[in-house]
Amino acid sequence: MSETAAKTAAADRIILEAEDIHKSFVSGNNTVEVLRGVDLRVRRGEMIAIVGASGSGKTTLLQILGTLDTPDRGRLLFEGRDLAALNEAEISRHRNRNIGFIFQFHHLLPEFTALENIMMPGLIRGQKKSELKKQAREILDQINFTDRGHHRCSELSGGEQQRVALARALVMQPTMLLADEPTGNLDSAGGQRIFDLLRNMSRSLSLSVVMVTHNLELAGAMDRCLTLKDGILHH
Nearest to 203 by CA among 183, 228, 180, 177: 177
Q: What is the pLDDT of residues 101-157, one digit of tens each?
A: 988 777 889 999 999 999 988 888 888 888 889 989 988 888 888 888 999 999 998
Sign of CA dihedral 87, 90, 96, 99: negative
Q: What is the pLDDT of residue 4?
A: 44
* Residue 119: C-alpha distances to residues 92, 168, 203, 233 (Å): 18, 7, 23, 35
Q: What is the pLDDT of residues 21-68, one digit of tens each?
A: 999 998 888 899 999 999 999 999 999 999 999 889 999 999 999 999
8 A C-beta contact, residue 19 and residue 39: yes
Q: What is the pLDDT of residues 160-210, one digit of tens each?
A: 888 898 889 988 889 999 999 888 777 888 788 888 888 988 998 899 999
Stretch (H or E) spanning 167:
helix 158-170
Four-CA torsion 49, 52, 56, 57, nearest 10 degrees: 0
- Determine the Cα–Cα distance for residues 24 and 16; give it in Å rounded to an integer: 22
Q: What's the pLDDT score for residue 35?
A: 97
pLDDT computed for residue 173 by the predictor: 87
Q: How far apart are CA 15 and CA 21, in angstroms?
A: 17
Query: Tell me, what's the pLDDT at 11?
Result: 56
Amino acid in position 197 = L
Is residue 226 a contact partner of residue 51, using CB atoms and an 8 Å limit? Answer: yes
Confidence of residue 1 (pLDDT cuts 50, 70, 90): very low
Q: Mapping DSSP to helix (H, G, I), strand (E, B) and coil, where does residue 122 land? A: helix
Ordered domains of the chain (ranges, CATH): 45-70+87-228 (3.40.50.300)
